[in-house]
Structure 1
Amino acid sequence: MSTSTVYKGSCFCGAVQFTVTGKPALQGYCHCKSCKTWAAAPANAFTLWDPKSVNVAQGSDNIASFNKTANSERCWCKVCGGHLFSKHPSMELTDVYAAVIPDFPFEPDIHVHYQEATLHIYDGLPKMKDLPEEAGGSGELIAE
């Protein structure tokens, strides 16, 4: 019997409902142009999960996706347009947007692509120029 915590999430209208189980591999803020444009926001609050920890419980037929690059498959609800998650096959992780899992205790670890920041956040967290080395980036930190 698993004792992992399960968090429920959904799109804006509730047509798509899902769960995430356990703990994310990483959580933080992405400042890349792609995420900012997709989210229509100055940064994207992300939680990265093992894809096996993300389970669509209802409305899988209402999920649409788009690949701007091979690095991300961005998924949203076809009914309301609400964003759900992005699959990152090269990292073998799924980014479930923190805002769509309301009971999840979001505690960011890091900022990525901070050199592209339009909103500078002074929170003492590490600021990566791009991505950590293990995720294919330079691993270079930049000043807050």
Structure 2
Amino acid sequence: MSSGKSLSGKCFCGAVEIAVDGEPMAMGYCHCDSCREWSAGPVNAFSLWPPQAVHITRGANKIGSYQKTEKSVRKWCTVCGGHLLTEHPLWGVTDVYAAVLPDLDFQPVLHVNYETTVLHLKDGLPKQKDFPAEMGGSGTLLPD
């Protein structure tokens, strides 16, 4: 899968560094309550990667984890609290938050969990009520 391309990023204080290889599987925006509460923002910009493409290159011993549901394991720097990524074991992907990768050419293709949005965005992208059907969601699209 690797295209030879590698991107890197770090937590807020720089104690933890992360690298990703190749291209993301998908990029978009999540509007679920969980992402909003975790990020303390109205929406989360995600980039999904195969787990084997994500590497902690510095500070692995400074990473904390929290698993609220079987769908996600959220990880952050224990020094500064900076958010890093979310592992999604049921889907076999890792979400490296787009903001963590400053050189990522972020090109979102959809919105997920748009039914619970608090920030309506009219950008022409598909707005999934929850998730695409292939991810176990309804596949229902909502109006822009």
> Quick check: TM above 0.5?
yes
Match of 2:23 in 1: 23
Match of 2:68 in 1: 68
Q: Distance in 2 between matches of 1:85 and 1:59?
A: 14
Q: Distance in 1 between matches of 2:110 and 2:27?
A: 7
Q: Distance in 2 between matches of 1:136 and 1:65?
A: 24
Q: Distance in 1 between matches of 2:136 and 2:4?
A: 29
Does residue 5 of the first structure (1) align with residue 5 of the second (2)? yes
Stretches of 4+ aligned residues off by more than 2 angstroms: none
Match of 1:139 in 2: 139
Q: Distance in 2 between matches of 1:117 and 1:128?
A: 11
Normalising by the residue count of structure 2, what TM-score does the alignment of the two structures yield?
0.97
Per-residue CA deviations over 1:61-107 (Å, capped at 9, x if unaligned) read 00000011010000000000000000000000000000000001001
Does residue 56 of the first structure (1) align with residue 75 of the second (2)? no
Sequence identity percentage: 52
What is the Cα-based RMSD across aligned positions, in Å?
0.8
Any stretches of 5+ residues in structure 2 without a counterpart? none
Q: Distance in 2 between matches of 1:31 and 1:4?
A: 32
Match of 1:119 in 2: 119
Match of 2:37 in 1: 37
Aligned-pair distance for 1:4?
Answer: 2.0
Q: Distance in 1 between matches of 2:58 and 2:17?
A: 5
